[in-house]
A = this chain, B = another copy of it.
């Protein structure tokens, strides 16, 4: 398409108004919102208020008067509304890795006759490592009678493949196992429907499409039907029924609160809470529609300008794809660096993937068009072929 056609798509975009909800450096085309989401406009003032007034002036009383105590549940409800979870099933706190540990352990206890956990070899490292930590050598890659719980990413962190949650959950249940979904690369960009899919458990990041800020606390979902019997091993005082009656033996809180452990990082949680306002009045169906249109436009433009230059590591059918596009190239790292030099920020995933995320709330169709255009320029002039672009930073 021509660039003015991309401009026309932006003009007709029902979510175009959302871009103003972010502070974005105008010189950048930021296609790494799948790794660290952009800064929502309301966050600086919200965080400053928590620091200067709530902490600085109201001090310890803020646990009550400013609702710090309930923040993990309150923010959890906001996240739950974005992933198709009825109230009372999501809390926010700890990291995705820690939440995964709690819920895989809990799932193993709910299926005491079964000791294996399904996890694929190409899952995100934490997911594989945590499963191995809990199940030892008893991991598997296929469903079977010994599987207690299947751990799957909804969207693959590398390829962007979107899995069919409802179908895979049903297959998992038919095999007698529980289904745990890692939503890190789908929440906020894909129309997730946990309750409708019959999911048992879910975890996910909040610093990617949800824009909660670096390392903002993760979320955990436990279907209401499991909560009464749920036993998770990280039995900290915030997850108990009577946290301030300190002589008692451990008694898990009723409901989803029993997933909580220690004191949550309130500043990071406050940033996330303010960030979620970017989703006010936005339907996830509209977000998903824009997301697929963006990735479709980008892939088409790359196909047209750079035939045969990249392998498309992402699924070609839009319905099988999340909100990022993975292009395979032997010099992927250097290509990513050369793109950054042209103002297009993506990232690299080994061994050979340039990963470009299209956050639907703030990436425009012209951004997708320009990104393809600049990528074509990088490749036409072999701009990636410089020693400086091959020097890998710690975080790639």
Q: Which residues of A contact B (CB under 8 A)?
A: 23, 25, 28, 30, 32, 35-36, 38-39, 43-44, 47-48, 50-52, 54-57, 59-64, 68-70, 94-98, 101, 122, 124-126, 128-130, 132-134, 158, 205, 207, 213-218, 233-238, 240, 243-250, 261-269, 271, 345, 347, 349-351, 393-396
Contact = CB atoms under 8 A, between A and B. Distances in A.
Nearest to A396: B244
Given A36-B60, A350-B247, A129 B43 contact: no
A349 B243 CA distance: 11
Contact of A247 (B48, B55, B214, B351): B351
Nearest to A32: B60
B266 A213 contact: yes
A59 B345 contact: yes
Nearest to A30: B59
A100 to B, nearest CB: 8
A109 to B, nearest CB: 11
Contacts of A263: 95-97, 205, 207, 214-215
Nearest to A231: B133
B59 A98 contact: no
A243 B62 contact: no
A126 B351 CA distance: 42
A261 B63 CA distance: 27
15 contacts: A25-B59, A28-B59, A39-B52, A44-B51, A47-B51, A63-B394, A122-B247, A129-B235, A129-B240, A132-B235, A205-B263, A213-B266, A213-B267, A215-B269, A245-B350
B59 A32 contact: yes
Given A32-B60, A97-B262, A98-B98, 18 more contacts: A25-B59, A44-B56, A47-B51, A48-B48, A51-B271, A55-B213, A63-B395, A69-B394, A125-B237, A125-B243, A128-B249, A133-B235, A213-B266, A218-B262, A244-B350, A247-B351, A265-B265, A267-B268
Please provide the 10 A-B residue pairs with the shortest distance between their CB atoms, ordered closest to farther. A95-B262, A97-B236, A97-B262, A265-B268, A214-B266, A63-B395, A39-B56, A265-B265, A129-B235, A129-B250
Given A95-B262, A394-B69, A101 B44 contact: no
Contact of A98 (B247, B262, B393): B262
A144 to B, nearest CB: 22
A215 B59 contact: no
A97 B267 contact: no
Contacts of A234: 97-98, 101, 130, 133
Given A236-B95, A265-B215, A51 B43 contact: yes
A64 B393 contact: yes
Contact of A267 (B214, B244, B394): B214
A347 to B, nearest CB: 7
A38 B57 CA distance: 9
Contacts of A269: 215
Contacts of A51: 39, 43-44, 47, 213, 271
